[in-house]
A and B are shown apart, each in its own frame.
Chain A
């Protein structure tokens, strides 16, 4: 006469899907309760949110393009983070690495952009962003390898260092500061879209597919192959499982850690290059929190590359959809997306628990101790 938690041996796929779907439905119900309490019809709101206002809207295609522009940096950052996480290197410095990548890309755009063809500028932007972000990540990895510092703390603090460097650039009006508009008396970031903007692939209609979407999908596939089938991927797996075993097997653990963290951070830098190459301007909120959300996405997907793409797509819908829906429902705060995201994350973790454990009733028992 009691409830007990027992371990499941096997959870069939359909059951897993049911659990995860139930988690999302319950999260939406919780959101519905909040919406009703502030006098909004949840069905209307969710309709607006999930369609992101694209249905029956003359400029719906624009919203969808915006959505993809949100999706690209998030998916790429989450994929990049999963590389380090697989190795149990807790890189939570995605924000800082993204900012460094953005600064690198913007520098190239301003300094090289006016003198070279755009496609060369774009490639150089990507390389500069990857190098700068990669080195920034490497710093934390090197400290860990050399002095056994805690990478969680280091990458976390380096986030703020990067953010304040960007804020400093944003606030400082000076002759050397080529990032700002010369004409304006107040410090305002200068636009560089005339020198550097990623080309879009025309699709016949008004909708244009940014080439970064294609590139991100290709990179995702490459990372998947890298982790699953290559020697490097195998080494990452072994180190993540047991660094001692890796050393025993003759792997150069320190070198592999440095290499992998550099890759991870460089890919985040690339995500930043994609972002600034699309917006054409820096801003202090350039990251759109992908460094944080990317961690959530990577864990929601349990570090599986294909699922990271699915999770990024869903999380981006939440962000974009809420912004769109809020345009029609003024009384809903912009933070509603965060509430929903939190509820989904929490409930998906609960669902994850139920895929591994079952609650069973005990048959017998309950006698008094002698």
Chain B
């Protein structure tokens, strides 16, 4: 092997207490090559990359950069060695402009903010074909712009080795294509790129080689050209996995939840959901597609009664739920689970045990002043068993579980309560293949039981095969509701960016309004349901 590697890691071991995050891992990347790093949640991908970027130090093993043994003690060292990492959670200062975010970390930047910093940074961006306004403040940026900025930042610092941790998780199909074009340009310019992703189709599309980790162990590295999704999954999971998502056909009921002309404001008082109509029947999964942050969160919160609405109506089985308390909405059988970026923000009390989290929504049901922990423990044991939650005990604080297990606990509790409408946002966010499929199965089972599911998702491929219908939002506006088996990823992408509006496709029937609506009166009055009503 006379070839010189941009980066070579040999026999890397990293322990956290008694947990081995990486055990004897070998990895190498050549200049002008894209290496995909693949593995399930908790397989140690991010830990391994953090050792390259100087956040952790390996307990054992050696790292070579361009054939030289190095010791990377800090992010500064990594920067000096030309290693740049774009983290999953962006590390940017919101109130600074793009250029200032970059300038801030520059060595020998001097004491004075110079005007020419804008030109410098624009030049770097143009060189690789990025679109970036150096004067734009970060808080005004869309997610994809922030990511672009992160990449430009590491390039500006002279990185020849670029590490991207799940860069596509927050992007639309079009944005992903743009990102991949940029990565190819960088590859041609001789950069070595390591990309972490869960999406196998992306791995096959962009990478030259694939390195696979499983439970901290290094499994193998293969040439992308000589492999396929099935083989990669088996290496990753360690056994055969069926990659098809079922979409069982279930008889649907009359609408369970109907939303009419709903307008909601976000925390800043801007319109987050703009005059949206939709309905969910029992026995169907309605997907909600949209670029991150275009009203999904506000919509979920409004339905759960956590956010006041500006105008519009929401009815559940014909009963108005606008203005009800979260408790009253829960009692109607509407369950909402929202997995935020940090995965713990809403729905779980992180320092409390699984048992205590099981009790969160039903602790009031027992008579008397005391909490019935016994039933909570039984519920916890049930969920752990049914959903294969990996945990030392029912009394382990939820915060100590890995991401996938946290999500299983949350969803498990919601389903145990026996809801008739499930609102779930990003239930597979950051989950590996195995856990994701388990969640899809759970949702399908609920669907078969006649539950109406609202699935707010990110991965269009998944939504196309799991959902019955997909509702597309763009900046809070309804772009249309399409049948999943009749649409394409491209069509959805166009709708998400606002280029295609199908909300007026059928003149006689506006999108999102059910023919057999349970609304007794379009104005929400109390007319008799059986009377003929002409609007």
Contacts and interface: CB of A to CB of B under 8 A. Distances in A.
Nearest to A226: B369
Nearest to B349: A241
Interface in B52-100: 57, 59-60, 65-66, 68-72, 77, 80-81
A146 interface: no
Interface string A223-246: 000000111111001100110111
A369 interface: yes
B16 A6 contact: yes
B352 A237 contact: yes
Contact of A9 (B17, B60, B306, B326): B17
B371 A229 contact: yes
B333 interface: no
A230 B370 CA distance: 4
Interface string A1-30: 000101111000000000000000000000
Given A234-B363, A250-B326, A362-B57, A367 B349 contact: no
Contacts of A147: none
Interface string B348-361: 11111000100111
A4 B14 CA distance: 13
Contact of A238 (B304, B327, B352): B352
B16 A363 contact: no
Interface string B323-361: 001110010000010000000111111111000100111
A250 B327 contact: yes
Given A230-B371, A370-B70, A250 B349 contact: no
Given A234-B356, A363-B59, A245 B349 contact: yes
A247 interface: yes
Contact of A241 (B65, B77, B304, B352): B352
Nearest to B348: A245
A79 B77 CA distance: 49
Interface in A292-334: none
A244 B301 CA distance: 11
B18 interface: yes
B360 A369 contact: no
Contacts of A249: 326, 360-361
A294 B352 CA distance: 25
B370 A229 contact: yes
A248 interface: yes
B56 to A, nearest CB: 10
Choose among A9, A245, A247 the residue with the greatest number of B CB atoms under 10 Å from its CB.
A245
A81 to B, nearest CB: 19
Contact of A250 (B59, B69, B325, B346): B325
B360 A245 contact: yes
A248 B306 contact: yes
A365 interface: yes
B177 interface: no
Given A238-B360, A242-B345, A244-B345, A4 B57 contact: yes
A282 B356 CA distance: 45
B326 A7 contact: no
A356 to B, nearest CB: 11
Contact of B371 (A9, A231, A364): A231
B349 A369 contact: no
B356 A237 contact: yes
B361 A250 contact: yes
A146 to B, nearest CB: 17
Given A242-B344, A369-B71, 15 more contacts: A4-B57, A9-B18, A231-B363, A234-B363, A234-B371, A238-B349, A238-B360, A241-B350, A245-B346, A245-B348, A250-B326, A250-B361, A364-B59, A368-B71, A369-B81
